Amino acid sequence: MTTTKKIDLKTIQAYFLYFMMYAVFGWLYEVTLETVIYRWGFSNRGVLFGPYCPVYGVGAFAFLFAINPLLRGKPWKKRLMLLPVVFVLSALLATVIELVTSYLCEFTIGYIPWDYTAYKYNFQARIALSTSLRFGLGGLIFLYLLQPLFEKINARLSDRTRTILFSVIGGLFLLDVIVHVLKLLL
């Protein structure tokens, strides 16, 4: 007889909130690059209307489920020894996600929201070595700093507060997705 781990509503809410936090951080990262670093001016870097890039939430989940188990429960010394492995795995995993996302965007919305033509080492202007290296660094920041912080914040939320946040943010996100899909269809 097999046993299955029951996922409760509290866990679903927490993971959704993690997803949204990383999607918002991704949007902030993209906008900061565009306005402060490259000085191109502001544009909404997400494919939806709100201030979030869901692909960063997807990447965070990939890191959580594929890479974070290597770190969980290990003492800090061993976790620090795994820095190069986590960096490489993060870079590779995020690059694959970005490549797949570029094809999905091209298929669903008719264009790729980024262009790496000007980057020296790129593949079809969809992925580039320099961004892959940044994704590796982002994976380190995510797994070693942000996720442990977010888990502590989540643990301090009351069930009621978590449910309210989940409902409001989830409702707004769902509305955004519906409006965006309708806009594409009409």
Binned at pLDDT 50, 70 and 90, residue 29 comes out as confident
Q: Do 96 and 112 contact (CB within 8 A), yes or no?
A: no
**Beta strands, E only, the chain:** 122-123, 127-128
Nearest of 101, 109, 133 to residue 120 by alpha carbon:
133
If one compares 76 and 6, the residue with the highest pLDDT of the two is 76
pLDDT of residue 1: 47
Is the pLDDT reported for residue 148 higher than 60?
A: yes
Residue 115's alpha-carbon distances to 51, 86, 98, 131, 142, in angstroms, are 20, 27, 12, 11, 25
Residue 91's alpha-carbon distances to 63, 87, 140, in angstroms, are 10, 6, 10
The Cα–Cα gap between 152 and 146 comes to 10
Its pTM stands at 0.80
pLDDT of residue 36: 80
Is the pLDDT reported for residue 176 higher than 50?
A: yes
The chain-wide mean pLDDT, for the chain, equals 88
Parallel, antiparallel, or unpaired: how do β-strands 127-128 and 122-123 relate?
antiparallel
Tens of pLDDT, residues 45-103: 666 777 888 888 988 999 999 999 999 889 989 999 999 999 999 999 999 999 998 99
Binned at pLDDT 50, 70 and 90, residue 42 comes out as low
Per domain, the residue ranges of the chain are 9-174
Nearest of 148, 151, 149 to residue 15 by alpha carbon:
151
Binned at pLDDT 50, 70 and 90, residue 112 comes out as confident
